[in-house]
Structure 1
């Protein structure tokens, strides 16, 4: 949450007068394509937000802008990542684990330091892990402002076409609110379960209630690879015929099962989509799925007992169509972005006094619900964040792949390990831990 409120903290405001937005741009040529009206609007927005302790109030009624529970928690929660700034800067480049390097980058950016954009740009420039690079670009977009636009411009001609397209997309969003894409062609593979399998980047904040008084809260901010390691890498899986009313989010967690098989965790979402514009859809979807709740707080660990419960989650946002990519005589979804929220349970004994390497392990945290007599009282985490996903070229042949990713789900969210479209066991939407027990 804090990373999305960049340059707006009271501390940052006290350090310097905002001045003009264009004075903050190191390379003014990077913004030459802005029209005069756009420059005036950006200058007004920049000065307005930086001249108020709480920039959200400038929009009007605080009932609309100050009622965000996550925003309220972000202002009072203590950071459970207690690494120093120097440690974060070092680990962002020196840690051998890409997920840990990325986690350090996002934590540093979330602290809203003046050199955060420069640090992220250096990581995007030098890191050898492709996802660290494009996730670092996303963090730059989250920080926003003219300095971010200038930094992203460096990557428009990157040798990796995905890095270049992400940079183009983020710059366009910052300048116009809408994404932009390159001109590569797309490839649709027929006879697969889903028309599209969109790899999602997810940035998540967990606000953990530290005691029953409701006056002490902790915050864990998870970068995309760290979140995927704990909760699973997610793919949005729409079909053209039903995408306006339902889709599957298919997740896999690697390293959880001792036999090396992926842990599959699928969620069928349903909701409404606004299609008043032909080039996009604005959606609000909810999911309610049966799950085994592990009272240990560790997925697949029944040592402290289990409970069958219905777990709810909400996601909402916008998808953008690409008319050049046709699936069943309809334009394919090229890009999706939005927010999500739900509840979770974190066993504090599993993270207290532990290094981040010991915390960011597969399954170390479970989704939860308030609407169960046993699970509800254990629920102690409010989960919310943002997601983005676009179609990529995964095999390096220069063509965008629409539905080549392996996802283990039927159209109704049931487990389908051989991807033949038929449920392995009707009604089962998550791996059965009892089948893996000795």
Structure 2
């Protein structure tokens, strides 16, 4: 991920406020002798200036990272100037385009990135744009990121305060930190938890058949949710170590106002050598209608019934103070994912970003279907994070209050009664909904 590689060079770490980044129980820098301060600064810069791929030693481990190679070769799809991005991040009327400007600005690793992103968090009224921007700050990394995040740890919005603390703690220690709010469980729901996911990804678009020309769009969480759907991770305590349901809904795709429902059942393994967390690797293979137009529910150029695969891996963290059926709840999840997609390059060429970032304007794809594989032209590589939030403002964390339209097996369940609308169907049927 390109943003995650920012501020890791020796040059970018040459002038840092190290004290702002150190844990509170570490002696202040001024108490150290001059040679101790110099040694600390040198050690810190030397450690962080190493590309993590080189730590493995064998180039087979780091030089074979396909996303890293594409990032070095691709040209930016977003053609806005730096000045236009700064303006849009603060003033664009569409919250998706405000956040998208934030992620593009961060991805360019501009000198004033921390200043601009911090200003967005200070002035933005939409909480989802705010916490998405906090994540972009974390992705930039380094002591400046920790210092910027800590400025919002006492924000009036408890969710912004907790996200700030969580991200700063991850950078400082590798582990998240949470506040002490209690939780509420909603009885009668299909899932024990419904965790709202933030997803950031780089879309690498193959622009022609020579494989020499690639485009790149660093897509923020709200932009991804608008195109591909807002995702929720939905575990049940009894099965969470071997399967997980990810439910997605696209808003604004159907003319009748109904949500476009799209469910993915993942299966895999979880490593549980620690009682407070799990490390997982899951895969999904689901039946889907592939739209050759490159737009969800648009059969104008033909369709193909196929199977779409996706992989996700990462770790989840338990909170022993929040119990579900006698077991600690998953308070936080993070990880990476990758897959394939398709867009009709000719149909989006020359269009503005607000014309491109439309509901359903991109579909997932596969390399294993002989009719589809040659159309596949997007490599999707991303990261995700999800935290339990207080959605109704009552001061308590909501464990499973989010609406997800799925049975435990991933079948569509539009009335959320646990019974499938149509056995075996995991995605809306474009032939039966208003589009």
- Structure 2 residue runs of 5 or longer lacking an equivalent are 30-36
Q: 1: CA distance between counterparts of 2:233 and 2:309?
A: 17
Q: 1:33 maps to which residue? A: 24
Q: 2:209 maps to which residue? A: 212
Q: 2: CA distance between counterparts of 1:43 and 1:238?
A: 44
Q: Kindly indicate whether the alpha-carbon contact (under 8 Å) linking 1:350 and 1:359 is maintained by their aligned counterparts in 2.
A: no
SS of the equivalent of 2:155 reads coil
For each residue in 1:257-280, what CA deviation from the matched residue of structure 2 results, as whole angstroms up to 9, or x when unmatched?
010000000000000000000000
Q: 2:232 maps to which residue? A: 235
Q: Kindly indicate whether the alpha-carbon contact (under 8 Å) linking 1:48 and 1:55 is maintained by their aligned counterparts in 2.
A: no
SS of the equivalent of 1:169 reads helix
Q: Does 1:414 align with 2:411?
A: yes
SS of the equivalent of 2:432 reads helix
Shift of 1:46: 2.8
Q: 2:258 maps to which residue? A: 261
Q: 1:303 maps to which residue? A: 300
Shift of 1:30: 5.8
For each residue in 1:29-51, what CA deviation from the matched residue of structure 2 results, as whole angstroms up to 9, or x when unmatched?
56351647x9988863532443x
SS of the equivalent of 1:435 reads coil
Q: Kindly indicate whether the alpha-carbon contact (under 8 Å) linking 2:194 and 2:399 is maintained by their aligned counterparts in 1.
A: yes
Name whichever of 61-70 and 373-382 sits farther off.
61-70
Q: 1:4 maps to which residue? A: 4
Shift of 1:351: 1.7
Q: Kindly indicate whether the alpha-carbon contact (under 8 Å) linking 2:22 and 2:172 is maintained by their aligned counterparts in 1.
A: no
Q: 2: CA distance between counterparts of 1:60 and 1:43?
A: 22
SS of the equivalent of 2:163 reads helix
Counting matched residue pairs gives: 427
Q: 1: CA distance between counterparts of 2:172 and 2:41?
A: 9
SS of the equivalent of 2:373 reads helix
Q: Kindly indicate whether the alpha-carbon contact (under 8 Å) linking 1:91 and 1:104 is maintained by their aligned counterparts in 2.
A: yes
Q: Does 1:138 align with 2:129?
A: no
- Structure 1 residue runs of 5 or longer lacking an equivalent are none
Partner of residue 336 from structure 2, selected from 331, 335, 339:
339
Q: 1:360 maps to which residue? A: 357
Partner of residue 24 from structure 1, selected from 9, 12, 16:
16
Q: Kindly indicate whether the alpha-carbon contact (under 8 Å) linking 2:261 and 2:428 is maintained by their aligned counterparts in 1.
A: yes
Partner of residue 427 from structure 1, selected from 414, 420, 424:
424
Q: 1:273 maps to which residue? A: 270
Q: 2: CA distance between counterparts of 1:307 and 1:196?
A: 34
- For normalisation by structure 2, the TM-score amounts to 0.95
Q: 1:401 to 1:47 in 2, by over 3 A?
A: same
Q: Kindly indicate whether the alpha-carbon contact (under 8 Å) linking 2:272 and 2:278 is maintained by their aligned counterparts in 1.
A: yes
- For normalisation by structure 1, the TM-score amounts to 0.94
Shift of 1:362: 0.2
Q: Kindly indicate whether the alpha-carbon contact (under 8 Å) linking 2:190 and 2:416 is maintained by their aligned counterparts in 1.
A: yes
1:83-94 to structure 2, matched below 5 A, reads: 83-94=80-91
Shift of 1:387: 0.2
Shift of 1:59: 4.2
Q: 2: CA distance between counterparts of 1:282 and 1:32?
A: 26
1:24-173 to structure 2, matched below 5 A, reads: 24-25=16-17, 28-29=19-20, 31=22, 33=24, 35=26, 44-50=43-49, 56-173=53-170
Shift of 1:88: 0.4
In angstroms, what is the RMSD of aligned CA positions? 1.9
